[in-house]
Amino acid sequence: MRHGQAARAHTLVGLLAVLWLAGAVVDSSSVSAAEPIAIREILDAPKSFHLKQVTLQGTVRNVTPLDPYKLQAGTMCYGAYLFFLEDETSSINVAVYGRCGVPTVKDPDVEDGQRIELAATIQSPSHGGYYLSFQGVKVAREQEGVIQAVADRITPLLDEVKPQ
């Protein structure tokens, strides 16, 4: 049973890495073409959004840089942080994974109160995968109810300028 869990964990870590890399190479025009959805829509039906890429817009709240964390393979990751993205319907926990294998000091890419567009991959409860917490990468258990948007791309939104 332990071997099966380890293999599953290894597969999920690999999947997360592939999702992250895919988000990095996707042409920005195709990502931004997706219509933003309301955060409440995700929270009301999290399982239907599991591992789906979505576009959200909202205001950044409670930015929290994380200490370096270690992956199961022993690689250290640096520069990760968490924040909440708030829209007019609700808010969702957002994880920005750090750079792994490269010791670095880096401030978060967002500030409290900033308006952004977020391309993210949703991870819902009972998926048996991982989520980023204050203690590093943790395995999600069904009773924890962790719904997390894993940031693929963050784009600052400029305040709309009204014509004079």
Per-domain residue ranges for the chain? 2-156
Name the pLDDT band for 115 (thresholds 50, 70, 90): very high
Q: How far apart are CA 15 and CA 13, in angstroms?
A: 5
Q: Name, in order, each residue with C-beta under 8 angstroms of 94's C-beta and a sequence gap of 6 or more.
A: 82, 83, 84, 85, 118, 120, 148, 149, 150, 151
Query: Of residues 121 and 11, which shows the higher confidence score?
Result: 121
116-148 per-position pLDDT tens digit? 999 999 988 655 555 555 455 555 544 456 789
Phi, psi of 21 (to 5 degrees): -65, -40
Q: Please tell me the class of the 2-156 domain.
A: mainly beta
Per-residue pLDDT tens over the stretch 49-69: 988 999 999 999 999 999 898
